[in-house]
Structure 1
Amino acid sequence: MIRTLVVDDDYRVARIHAASVARVPGFTCVGEAHTVSEARQAIAESAPDLLLLDFYLPDGDGLSLLRDLAAADGPAPDCIIITAARDLATVRSAMHMGAIYYLVKPFGLPQLRRQLDAYRLWRSQTSGGGEADQATVDALYTLLRGATPSQSADAMMPPTMRKILDAVRLSVEPVGACTLADQLGVSRPTAQRYLSELHRRGAVHLHLEYGRAGRPEHRYAVT
């Protein structure tokens, strides 16, 4: 679960955002703070992964808090700025301080949810070790700048997996690994391996088709 702290001086708005976070799969709200000092204490006690951070606070501003967190020893939480501030100087400062996104008030709750979904996917794709080629780097940046999770997920797939997913999308009926292998010129085990991974990711549905005898045939269709 992605532990999220909501920081907003308006108690009503903070409650709304906290409730919205709690309804997004993969997220949990670990608290609300309404001042910079409350936010510092909550961060120290709860160690959140993500801040939903308002800019205007009674005892300071969100960018000062973000700057201090970036300068502190140890890992700092990621941050999505949520503010009515629209001037470009503030937007540039937020970007320089490491904010991963900037939502301008007022905004719809579906927009907040889309950004949280994008952040969850971005976080899952950047966790762990390994290396990233340029296509992966481009997809990660694109994801945080407004692409839908499905678009960025496609961009980060291995080329053969992406071809298999495209072929399943184009099929008018559920299709199996043998058919895809013949269409795409890959081996059946390769097609089945990628189909199984696409199913694990939730990109395709599995249909079991039973014949007169023997094991059922695995066929796949897009979700």
Structure 2
Amino acid sequence: MIRTLVVDDDYRVAKIHAAGIDRVPGFSCVGQAHSAAEARQAVADLAPELLLLDIYLPDEDGLAILRGLNSAGGAGPDCIVITAARDLETVRTAMHLGAVYYLVKPFGFAQLRDQLDAYRRWRQQTSGSGDADQATVDALYNLLKGPAVKSPPAAALPPTMQKILEAIQDAPRPIGASALAGQLGLSRPTAQRYLTELHRRGAIRLHLEYGRAGRPVHRYAMPDPGGHAPTKATTV
């Protein structure tokens, strides 16, 4: 198992990422940290092999953690940056400091899984000994890129709507606006607006869960293969 530490100031997002890590074969989330100080202590106490590292932390930024790992010497953990920071200076600095990849939020479980799988294959290929020719070096760099990105079709969905659709595809059960908002780093009203539009287009189906009292809870799932009507579940 690749021991992985999640570093994110948002407790809810960190929990989602931790759960996603545990769903990927070969990976285990050994802890969560929500500040630079907590991250440094967790690295010392838990000895993770990989960090999922946010840039925006309350006490220092994630780049400071990367700098510290580089200056400490020895075999520290590898790092995949997961952040909403999109400016090229931050991206360039993270690469310069040794981040093996840079995932821009929001992203769905499928994208996280693909990148973790790519990292696992890269580790396996670099764990041996001996010499590497140029073809081998090129192959190792290409592994870190993950699956090839396909060109979007002419009628592609807007990026945020596409991420919501992918998150629904990956969800093991019908999912609501609040859960999607937390997973993708959106506000709940924004998530609900895209869900309503996807439902209007027929891309997803509405799943109503009825409790003992009150209004039904709206959750969403992919359409049934046979085109059946939405399922209505009773929550006990």
TM (normalized to structure 2)?
A: 0.62
Hey, what's the Cα distance between the residues in 2 that align with 1:84 and 1:109?
16
Q: Mapping of 1:118-197 within 5 angstroms?
A: 118-147=118-147
Hey, what's the Cα distance between the residues in 1 that align with 2:133 and 2:145?
19
The corresponding residue for 1:5 is: 5
**Per-residue deviation, residues 36-79 of structure 1 (Å, max 9, x unmatched):** 00000000001100000000000000001001101102111000
Hey, what's the Cα distance between the residues in 2 that align with 1:73 and 1:96?
16
Hey, what's the Cα distance between the residues in 2 that align with 1:29 and 1:37?
19
Hey, what's the Cα distance between the residues in 2 that align with 1:83 and 1:94?
11
Higher helix share: 1
Q: For residue 56 of structure 1, give the secondary structure of its aligned residue in structure 2.
A: coil
Hey, what's the Cα distance between the residues in 1 that align with 2:142 and 2:128?
20
Hey, what's the Cα distance between the residues in 1 that align with 2:144 and 2:88?
19
Q: CA deviation at 1:108?
A: 1.2
Structure 1 stretches lacking a partner, 5+ long: 149-223
Hey, what's the Cα distance between the residues in 2 that align with 1:27 and 1:111?
15
The corresponding residue for 2:43 is: 43
Hey, what's the Cα distance between the residues in 2 that align with 1:49 and 1:120?
11
Q: For residue 30 of structure 2, give the secondary structure of its aligned residue in structure 1.
A: strand
The corresponding residue for 1:59 is: 59
The corresponding residue for 1:15 is: 15
The corresponding residue for 1:94 is: 94
Hey, what's the Cα distance between the residues in 1 that align with 2:114 and 2:70?
26
* Matched residue count: 148
Q: For residue 106 of structure 2, give the secondary structure of its aligned residue in structure 1.
A: coil
Hey, what's the Cα distance between the residues in 2 that align with 1:70 and 1:21?
24
Hey, what's the Cα distance between the residues in 2 that align with 1:118 and 1:95?
17
Q: For residue 98 of structure 2, give the secondary structure of its aligned residue in structure 1.
A: coil
Q: Is the 8 A contact 2:51 2:80 kept in 1?
A: yes
Q: For residue 79 of structure 1, give the secondary structure of its aligned residue in structure 2.
A: strand
Structure 2 stretches lacking a partner, 5+ long: 149-236
Q: For residue 57 of structure 1, give the secondary structure of its aligned residue in structure 2.
A: coil
Q: Mapping of 1:104-115 within 5 angstroms?
A: 104-115=104-115
Q: Percent identity?
A: 74
Q: Is the 8 A contact 2:114 2:147 kept in 1?
A: no
Q: For residue 119 of structure 1, give the secondary structure of its aligned residue in structure 2.
A: helix
**Per-residue deviation, residues 101-129 of structure 1 (Å, max 9, x unmatched):** 00000111100000000000000000021
The corresponding residue for 2:180 is: none
Hey, what's the Cα distance between the residues in 1 that align with 2:63 and 2:102?
12
Hey, what's the Cα distance between the residues in 1 that align with 2:137 and 2:17?
30
RMSD: 0.9
Q: CA deviation at 1:147?
A: 3.6
**Per-residue deviation, residues 158-212 of structure 1 (Å, max 9, x unmatched):** xxxxxxxxxxxxxxxxxxxxxxxxxxxxxxxxxxxxxxxxxxxxxxxxxxxxxxx
